[in-house]
Amino acid sequence: MILSKFVASGALLLAAQSSIATVEQSELRDTLDVLYVQDKVSSITDSDLTIREDLGETWLNGSKEYELEVVKDIINQLGKLQLGTYVVDDSPALITNISEEITSGRQDYYILRDAHPKAHQCVNASFTVEDNNFFPDGFLGEGNIQHDAIVRFSSSNPSPDSDAVNGVRGAAVKVLMGDQTHDFVMQTHPNFPTDNVEQFSNLIKLGRTQNCLSIVPDPDNQSPWGPLFDFTYQLSKATQCLVQSDFNIFDLPETVGSIMRFQEGFEESPIKSAFDFDYFSVTPYAYKDIVFKYEVSPAICNEPNSENKSFNPSEANDTDGLEKNIQRVLGAGSACFDLNVVARPTDLSDKDAIESLITTWDEKSSHVLERVKVASIVVPQLVQGFEISPVACDEMRNNNGRVADGFKPLGSVSRGRIPIYDRLSAFRLEANEHLRNMNK
């Protein structure tokens, strides 16, 4: 079930699979694909991926070209997915209701993020660098320097569903430092279901296969061959769907493992306030030669907030409980977090430390890993008239590769995400603009 959720990830336009897509909708999807997805795929060049071999990074399958192809493939697949053309491009079962949504004026944009589409709220914040000995040369500035920041709280559930169901939550902190910006992109689950971009791509392809199987209708079986007919029909359908998804059957065992980890991530995520979670970078980073991961954890504010930050029973059962909780808590005062870093454990191989995400450093290392606080984040009381609008929040572009000088995201997933987020966020902004203009 979670797999089908995954398949739908970002396919917010797959609203009515059983309906017949209109020619107009299908043409619109094709136009948007050609104009805004394919140009992003072809814009990927050699310079989009770099590694620091001295810090233990290695190319997927030992080849930069190979890794670039996988990244292009993911952009193509996820871009199409966001257009609602996820499984079989010509399938009449795949409908987008773009034109209906847009022409009805119910909203002035349609294409949301492929991942973490539901923003609970974007809030202004302050980010204060703390004196620390982890980064002796400073970290986003000298100790005690304060920057403005914006936090986007989100849910990774594929469609903007109810907050009363389990789901991995996200927080992206955009630190504004004059003409430089540093984004911290985090989620509440410390592991990732795949170690590298290829395994992630296989996860998408298997999802496509499963979705394909569920939408190709079975004929009424009037054949005298009975069960044999069913068997051959199912076999040909499975083969057709596998071919269409471009999934290599030999990758099946590994990909089933990824699916199970994906599912565990959802199931293990409790339903609670955005102020009660720890948020993890999941992937490693380097600052100069120091390799680390970061985490954001709830902290006590200097100025106490009289509101209880945790969910009350009505928030816990509300479709928009996370947003209502943020409004209630920040309506009364501030909420605070610490930004902590953890150093690469000395007993892990480069592969385990840099190119592997399905288990955390804490799980892999035989040492107890120390956390060092390097910054404080304060989300102040909301001021009426200064809120960040939902559209501005959706149009924000966060990227784990948008970092201050000297920083470098490490590992296949992390370096692959940089061009993927860059191109797909550009795609959704451009395609939404196109849709808005169509309506004028």
Residue 228 CB, shortest distance to ligand HEM, in Å, is 42
Name the residue among 186, 197, 212 with its Cα closest to residue 281. Answer: 186
**Of 354 and 420, which has the nearer Cβ to ligand HEM?**
420
Query: Per CB under 6 A, does 411 bind ligand HEM?
Result: no
203 lines the binding site for ligand HEM (CB under 6 A): no
Q: How many residues bind ligand HEM (CB under 6 A)?
A: 29
Closest CB to ligand HEM among 186 and 215? 186
Q: How far apart are CA 253 and CA 267, in angstroms?
A: 21
Pick the binder of ligand HEM from 78, 83, 329, 382 (CB under 6 A): 78
Q: Which residues contact 257 (CB under 8 A, 6 or more apart)?
A: none
Assess 150 for contact with ligand HEM (CB under 6 A): no
421 binds ligand HEM (CB under 6 A): yes
Residue 191 identity (one-letter amino acid) = N
Q: How far is CA 349 from CA 289, 352, 406, in A?
A: 16, 5, 23
- Using alpha carbons only, give the angle 166, 167, 168 rounded to the nearest 5 degrees: 145
Check binding of 286 to ligand HEM (CB under 6 A).
no
424 near ligand HEM, judged by CB under 6 A: yes
Nearer to ligand HEM, 21 or 335 (CB): 335
When binding is defined by CB under 6 A, the residue of 283, 334, 340, 432 that contacts ligand HEM is 283
192 or 311: CB nearest ligand HEM: 192
Cα 235 to chain centroid distance, Å, stands at 34
- The only residue of 40, 72, 80, 113 in contact with ligand HEM, by rule CB under 6 A: 113
The angle subtended at Cα 198 by Cα 7 and Cα 182, nearest 5°, is: 85
How many Å apart are CA 423 and CA 216, to the nearest integer?
31
Residue nearest to ligand HEM (CB): 170
What are the structure tokens assigned to 403, written together? 């970092």
- Distance, in Å, from the CA atom of 388 to the CA atom of 45, rounded to the nearest integer, reads 35
Residues in contact with ligand HEM, shown as a per-residue x/- string from 57 to 76 under the rule CB under 6 A: -----------------x--
CB of 74 to ligand HEM, least distance (A): 5
Q: Which stretch binds ligand HEM (CB under 6 A): 221-229, 337-345, 372-380, 396-404?
A: 396-404
Residue closer to ligand HEM, measured from CB, 28 or 75 = 75
The reply on whether position 361 binds ligand HEM by CB under 6 A is no
Among 95, 175, 282, 354, binds ligand HEM (CB under 6 A): 282
CB 87 within 8 A of CB 94: yes
Per CB under 6 A, the segment of 40-48, 125-133, 369-377, 395-403 that binds ligand HEM is 395-403
Q: DSSP readout, 382-408?
A: P-TT-PPPHHHHHH----TT---TTEE
Q: How far apart are the first and last CA of the chain?
A: 40
CA 249 remoteness from chain centre: 26
Q: What is the largest CA-CA distance in the chain?
A: 80
List CB contacts of 48: < 8 A, sequence separation 6 or more: 68, 71, 418, 419
Q: Is 115 in the site for ligand HEM (CB under 6 A)?
A: yes
Residue type, 238: A
Piece of 15-23, 181-189, 225-233, 384-392 that binds ligand HEM (CB under 6 A): 181-189
- Does position 379 interact with ligand HEM (CB under 6 A)? The reply is no
In this complex, which beta carbon is closest to ligand HEM, that of residue 21 or of residue 293? 293
Q: How far is the CB of 82 from ligand HEM (least distance, A)?
A: 8
| 182-201 binders of ligand HEM (CB under 6 A) | 185-187, 192, 197, 200
Compute the C-alpha angle 133/135/138, nearest 5°.
110
According to CB under 6 A, which one of 273, 416, 419, 435 is a site residue for ligand HEM?
416
Crossing angle of helices 227-245 and 197-215, in 10° steps, is 140
Residues within the interface to ligand HEM (CB under 6 A): 74, 78, 113-116, 152, 154, 170, 172, 185-187, 192, 197, 200, 282-283, 396-398, 413, 416-417, 420-421, 424-425, 428
